[in-house]
Structure 1
Amino acid sequence: MIKKQQIVILVGIIFFVLINNYICAQVETIKLALFDTPYNEMPLNVPLLSEYEKNYLAGVEAAAQVAKAANINIVYKPFFYGAGPLDVLSEISKVQEWQPDLIIGPGASDQFLLLKNYIFNTMVLSSYASDISLTTLPKNFYSVNLPDVQVSSLLSQYIHQQYPQKNIYVITQIDSKECVDASDLFINSYHKISPATKITQNKLILDNVSSIDSKKLMTGHEQDIVVIFNFTYYGYSVLIRHIAASFPKSNLIFFSNQDDWNDKGTDRPRKNDNLLYQSYRIGPVIFDSNDLDYKEFENAYYKLYHQEPVDSVSFMLYLTVMSVVKALIQFPPPETYQGMREKILYSYTQALKYDPTWFRLKYYAIYQLTPQGEVLITKFAV
């Protein structure tokens, strides 16, 4: 009797080990390099930088949580670089030495474009890059963000619709290729809609906003619609406050094409709107309760942090990671593919053949800044 029990126990142990080994064999690991910088979005302010990094990584953690259900284990390592436009280059060798299966970042188009000369056989994804030159990149580069050419078209249509009789004053950050490219796209798009509209462009270096003579900058343009193409939404906010301080009674109207990484826009009406100016931006609809991807993200985020997500950067990083997970599931690579890097390249290439706008958000909106936060003014499909 004892021997029979021992045999049963032994068989049970062997079965458990075999099943466990089988399950473990099915779990695949993705080595993910997060190759980006918080300095593009925020000033040298430690609390704000820490908040940005925390919410950036929270999106990756949420994606890793969801990926487990598909037997995919995500191991990530941040490679955050400095504020200089070429600081990204100093980290490339470190990323290459780690030999990731997947790279996410940079968010800035200028820096994303630089990587084409260094990264060849690894999928490189960006959550925010949008410059028109991205179309010239090799097939292993892709951004889940809407290209500037489409954003510029949407923005020009909205402004002309709302202010058909107004002149346009474009302020462009000259030391950023993506800002110059985006402003040119906007001007061309607006001229197609309204050839008779007067459009004036002023190209500036915007690294020291406090030194800018606002009255000189705005002379003759106080009644124009001011469209600013600069590197970050934070920088845009600082600039318009600086300009508006010199025109407290003019009710200047500003527009930006920049995403705001840390504001949860809402369509609830606001009261006590007593800003000295009007500020609008165009950006994706992030917190959409009707979107299945967002619902999945929200559930995973809540399980991890026991609160609802509040910053859009978390969802954008989640979306970027999940675009790979879903590609692997929907377009599984042949069994002959052994390495995860090769599997991702195959599956993502197939996903883009199936849908060239793979995992890009389908709705954009115009948001207005109020003292209490942002308000969603209007939404349109893209």
Structure 2
Amino acid sequence: MRNSSRGAVDAFIVMDVMEAARAAEAAGRHIVHMEVGQPSSPAPAQARAVLAETMKTDPLGYTVALGLPALRARIARLYGEWYDVDLDPARVVVTPGSSGGFILAFTALFDAGDRVVAGRPGYPSYRQILKALNLEPVEVQASAENGYQLVPEDLAGLDYQGLMMASPANPTGTMLDRAQLGAMIGACQEAGAAFLSDEIYHGIEYDQRAVTALELSDDVCVINSFSKYFSMTGWRVGWLVVPEAQIRQVERLAQNFFICPPHAAQVAALAALDAREELDANLAVYKRNRALMLEGLPKAGFDRIAPPDGAFYVYADVSHLTSDSHAFAAEILDKAGVAVTPGLDFDPDRGKGTLRFSYAQGTAEIEEGLDRLRRFMAARG
């Protein structure tokens, strides 16, 4: 059986690190997980209770392709609560996680061969999904001076049909303020390109509120998910907000690609939207963990970091410690029992000298991980 060239995408390195950590745990070791953006908290109790009750009487079959109308309406209302944006629920599309949203958005907006810009470092699946769809990822190195976020000058002279931005970003946690985001939307639209805003980490912010692209323009595509702030990674439910002109196109694609998002996950997601007290308690844990990381990582020797404005990651320059972040991460796992992600996932060039540390776990685990890292680096000399 032959393989397609479209399927020849790179492995997602963090998943390989997770597997190595799992194997170590299976062998009896205790591993501190700083490799993956996996909240330690479960889906909100209210969401789980509502789903359990629903399952007693509802067969949970197919829903319409765009998602449960009640969920779409509640997501639209969220934009009023968080951003003072009056959003038409018809523009909301419920998806099988943000990954399903990327597939729908890229397929609806671009033709084969179109060029889509994304910054480096950045979420690696942008690149791989684009490749698999016969689209051309155009990755542009963002500078540390700009918080590893692209600025309009970075787009000068580029030929592109789309631009993907994330704020807060993965792997850095840095954010764009209103003026910065507006400048990027303006530069993109001036070039006649589609602007896509990955807002999956909205809700996990510390000193300032994240800005949604919808505050600045209706002619944008927003991707979001219940995975991070709502602690529902494995439920595989997210959403798109698309311009009115794209609704029917996205609907036809969703009908054929996915039929519908998982019904059970949609029921839980609807209830999760009203679980603010529990979710904000989770945010308080991330805030405490962030403070511990910003204090503890430099003490351990990881002192070249981009302080995160949001999300739950710290991106560290370790080029003074290694020229092979993959081998360095493996050494840390083996000798310290801490799983971290090599930066190669996020930047195949500069990533040889970077690591990403996640602080999404419980505070006790973060404290233990930092202590292990400190002792590891002291022994390493």
User: How does the TM-score come out when normalised to structure 2?
Assistant: 0.31
Greater strand fraction, Structure 1 or Structure 2: 1
Q: Return the structure number with greater relative CO, CA threshold 8 A, min gap 6.
A: 2
User: How does the TM-score come out when normalised to structure 1?
Assistant: 0.31
